Amino acid sequence: MKIKKFEVGPLAVNCYLVYDEKTKKAFVIDPGDEPDLILDFIKQEGLSLQYIICTHGHFDHIGAVKELKEESGAKVILHKSDLEIYRNASQIASQFFGMNIDSQPEPEILLENEKTMKVLDREIKFIHTPGHSLGSICIYIENYLFTGDTLFAGSVGRTDLIGGSMEKLLNSLKKISYLPPETIILPGHGPKTQLKIEIMTNPFYYEIH
């Protein structure tokens, strides 16, 4: 399994393409912008995109879903609690940030709470981690946890947007703290880190009792 990171859009979102070099099957996490950059790599490597996974519905994480789906036919995965903000993302981007994105296609797979699927011949676990938004998820595969805007290196996602809650976010941090301490954290913004480092040094983990 290989992971390719793209930093896309004006808000510098980390988009991750996860793929198997043998089968050439792939899935993408949070394609927020710059679809051509992602598609060029997919074509260059001869990959077959199976799924488009959104850690949450905010516009900066979903802005290239439409183009990737039209090109690949991949299925879109989103937690059902973020469906409303996903559907309204283009209006929110325009009204509050002066940015234009297309309306995105309806997800084929709507998650509810926890779910485990077989992807790339590996077990992938979707963990519901509300706090940044109602339907935020983290994605656990092998020794990696893709955290979206739930957990960053030394910080967490903001909770002052629609559906945000610091209380829920702290509960979500506690939930993922039970994963193996060596788990590598791949966040939606900023550098990668490790779960045990965040538990020991991230000030928001100090709030968990």
What residue spans define the domains of the chain? 2-207
Among 169, 77, 99, CA closest to 129: 169
Q: Are 107 and 82 in contact (CB under 8 A)?
A: no
- Dist. CA 86–CA 60, nearest whole Å: 10
Which residues are registered as beta bridge partners of 17? 4, 28
pTM: 0.95
pLDDT tens digits, the chain, 209 residues: what are they?
999 999 999 999 999 999 999 999 999 999 999 999 999 999 999 999 999 999 999 989 999 999 999 999 999 999 999 999 999 877 766 555 666 777 889 999 999 988 999 988 899 999 999 999 999 999 999 999 999 999 999 999 999 988 899 999 999 999 999 999 999 999 999 999 999 999 999 999 988 85
- Dist. CA 145–CA 114, nearest whole Å: 14
- Dist. CA 70–CA 82, nearest whole Å: 22
- Dist. CA 207–CA 209, nearest whole Å: 6
Architecture of domain 2-207: 4-Layer Sandwich (3.60)
